[in-house]
Chain A
Amino acid sequence: MTEKYNLKGEEKVLFRLRSLYSSFGYKTYKMSRFEEYDLYARNKDFLVSSNIITFNDTDGKLMALKPDVTLSIVRSIKDKSGTVSRICYGENVYRVSSSSGTFREIMQAGLECIGDVGLLELCEVASLAQMSLKAISKDSILTISHIGIVESLLNKIPEGLASEAAKALAARNVSALEALSEANAEYSEVLSKIAKLATISGSSDEVFSQLSEMGVDKKSLSELKTITASLNPKMMRIDFSILDGMKYYNGIVMRGYVKGVPTAVISGGQYDKLMKRMKKKSRAIGFAVYLDSLERLLEEVSEYDVDVVLRYGENDDIASVLKKAQKLRDEGKSVVTLREPAANLRYREMIDMGGKADA
């Protein structure tokens, strides 16, 4: 139904996502564009970039143009045991673009599932991420990891070494992990296991038995197994290189890719750690879809700028020109009235009202 309106690709996707999320009982959450700056100052490392557009409100309070939606939703949700709040959004956020270094307005959609979140909710949100990808493109892949698994290995080595190892794992830099393992003989066993994580992929039982032999956290492993089993295996891959945000993510983390876009279009995970930092008891999982990165992918190039150019002249009766144009529009055509079309205007047909003054 949305397709007949003249919508841009990302707008269509936004509508599709909204109806997908509402079919799972997610309620849309409309927020103010502003938020007190304090919220972001306290949770800076949760943000993609720490640059924020700020201004003073009329009462002098320092405000910010929203760089992120999740924090606002988390703050507004009250802890209530036994329930789960399902919230979705489609909002503009304001962030610094890493390529230009200047602020950009970015269209973002997403959802948050907050409350007594159990395994069922985790599975549901992961598959919603997969369905969101499908709403964008036929060719998509959801990559998924579990922070608990990676942490159970990283925790066995000293902090400085662990952060180096994490950096290498995030870049799938096996060479660096092998070098670290050679240079730190006493931790070489753990480090070579981490190197193995960098190349592991797939979801078969073989991968899981490999992982359990490595002695990673059992609870996390069984969680990941259950969640991946609930996903479409053709559009899913285990990927332990997803590591940014280890300070607030604790369980599964996800990235979504669609063919034709060079960066991830979906990013999210389970963020109980963030909830705790914000003094909330609830558990939570969510993800965001970066609609701005789809602009090029979904761009529809139309052959014509307009269906009909209605050419009129000084001797034409204005009322009849307008009437004729409206008649054509009622037939479903797009019409511009012009004295003379510009040279680069692409039109399907030209109708001359015949009232041009004699040249």
Chain B
Amino acid sequence: MLNIALPKGRLGEKVYAMFAASGFECPEVLGDSRKLVFENQKNGVRYFWVKPSDVAVYVERGAADIGVAGKDIIDEYMPDIYEVLDLKTGKCRMCVAAKKDFRDNADVTLRVATKFSNIARRYYASLGREIDIIHLNGSIELAPVLGMSDVIVDIVETGTTLKENGLEVTETIMPISARLIANKASYEFKRNDVLKVIEGLRRQVEAK
């Protein structure tokens, strides 16, 4: 039995469709039930929905053998897992954004508001820039609007939220997409099952 952690929400549903099309369906998953765990004995799969930012934890600790997590989550938490396939869905960018009239003064410490502290820290360290991290859990766009931070580091999909708040992207740190991740021990002990899923999903990705 292969345990699969899916991220709750739109991305998870999209990804489940890819699993189903690869022959790992479990129709109950999409139902309205309050159940947490869905099993299809015939296919040998067990799915569960978890908070997107928790998928990597479930996989790293072996509660899930494989899972789907955004590249943003993987780079932020750096879990000890294998990142076996780019699913090329849920695409967006990790960006630096600032108010339209913002002019960067390299002479002062840059105040950066973000949910992704580690990514921001690494990015600015690679530039050799001194920063002050302001860790927030949501509504990041508010920080520069109120003058609490100079810039934000956040995920940008369409840029609409930024525009509505008078912000614009100043730099792109990296592209983001959903990744299939695998637990290292499961990769050895359930190797055939894991490889079958990777192969099936790879065909789905290539067919797109």
Knowing A262-B61, A263-B184, the reply to whether A176 touches B189 (Cβ < 8 A) is: no
Contact A175–B82 (Cβ < 8 Å): no
Nearest CB in chain B to that of A98: its residue: B80
Contact B188–A237 (Cβ < 8 Å): yes
Chain A residue contacts of B61, Cβ below 8 A: 262
Chain A residue contacts of B184, Cβ below 8 A: 257, 262-264
Partner-contacting stretch, out of B18-26, B83-91, B115-123: B83-91
Minimum C-beta distance from A256 to chain B (A) = 10
- For chain A, residues 99 to 141, give those with C-beta under 8 angstroms from any C-beta of chain B: 139, 141
Q: Say whether B62 faces chain A, with CB atoms less than 8 Å apart.
A: yes
- For chain A, residues 167 to 194, give those with C-beta under 8 angstroms from any C-beta of chain B: 171-176, 179
Q: How far is the CA of A257 from the CA of B182 in the complex (A)?
A: 15
Nearest CB in chain B to that of A264: its residue: B184
Size of the chain A interface, CB-CB below 8 angstroms: 21
Knowing A262-B61, A262-B184, the reply to whether A173 touches B189 (Cβ < 8 A) is: no
Q: How far is the CA of A257 from the CA of B190 in the complex (A)?
A: 12
Q: Say whether A259 faces chain B, with CB atoms less than 8 Å apart.
A: yes
Q: Say whether A220 faces chain B, with CB atoms less than 8 Å apart.
A: no
Knowing A262-B61, A262-B62, the reply to whether A172 touches B185 (Cβ < 8 A) is: no
Q: Say whether B150 faces chain A, with CB atoms less than 8 Å apart.
A: no
Contact B62–A174 (Cβ < 8 Å): no
Q: Say whether B183 faces chain A, with CB atoms less than 8 Å apart.
A: yes
Contact B189–A172 (Cβ < 8 Å): no
Knowing A262-B62, A262-B183, the reply to whether A172 touches B188 (Cβ < 8 A) is: no
Q: Say whether B60 faces chain A, with CB atoms less than 8 Å apart.
A: yes
Contact A172–B60 (Cβ < 8 Å): no
Q: How far is the CA of A329 from the CA of B83 in the complex (A)?
A: 56
- For chain A, residues 5 to 47, give those with C-beta under 8 angstroms from any C-beta of chain B: none
Q: How far is the CA of A172 from the CA of B187 in the complex (A)?
A: 11
Contact A172–B62 (Cβ < 8 Å): no
Contact A174–B189 (Cβ < 8 Å): no
Nearest CB in chain A to that of B177: its residue: A175
Contact A173–B83 (Cβ < 8 Å): yes
The winner among B62, B81, B84, B85 for most chain A CB atoms within 10 A is B84
Nearest CB in chain A to that of B80: its residue: A263
Minimum C-beta distance from B64 to chain A (A) = 10
Chain B residue contacts of A176, Cβ below 8 A: 83, 86
Minimum C-beta distance from B5 to chain A (A) = 13
Among B83, B179, B185, point to the contact of A257 (Cβ < 8 A): B185
Contact B185–A262 (Cβ < 8 Å): yes
Minimum C-beta distance from B68 to chain A (A) = 13
Interface string of B160-186 (1 = CB under 8 A from A): 000000000000000000010011111
Contact A175–B85 (Cβ < 8 Å): yes
Q: Say whether A143 faces chain B, with CB atoms less than 8 Å apart.
A: yes
Minimum C-beta distance from B7 to chain A (A) = 18
A-B contact pairs, 12 of them (CB 8 A): A98-B80, A174-B84, A179-B86, A237-B188, A241-B82, A257-B184, A257-B189, A262-B183, A262-B186, A263-B80, A263-B185, A264-B185
Nearest 10 Cβ contacts at the A-B interface: A262-B62, A175-B86, A172-B82, A171-B83, A173-B83, A141-B188, A257-B185, A257-B188, A262-B185, A259-B189
> Which residues of B pack against A, CB within 8 Å?
60-62, 80-86, 179, 182-189, 191
> Which residues of A pack against B, CB within 8 Å?
98, 139, 141, 143, 171-176, 179, 201, 237, 241, 257-259, 261-264
Q: A259-B189, A263-B185, A264-B185 are in contact. List 15 more A-B contacts (CB 8 A).
A: A98-B80, A139-B189, A172-B83, A173-B86, A176-B86, A201-B191, A257-B184, A257-B185, A258-B185, A262-B61, A262-B62, A262-B183, A262-B184, A263-B62, A263-B184
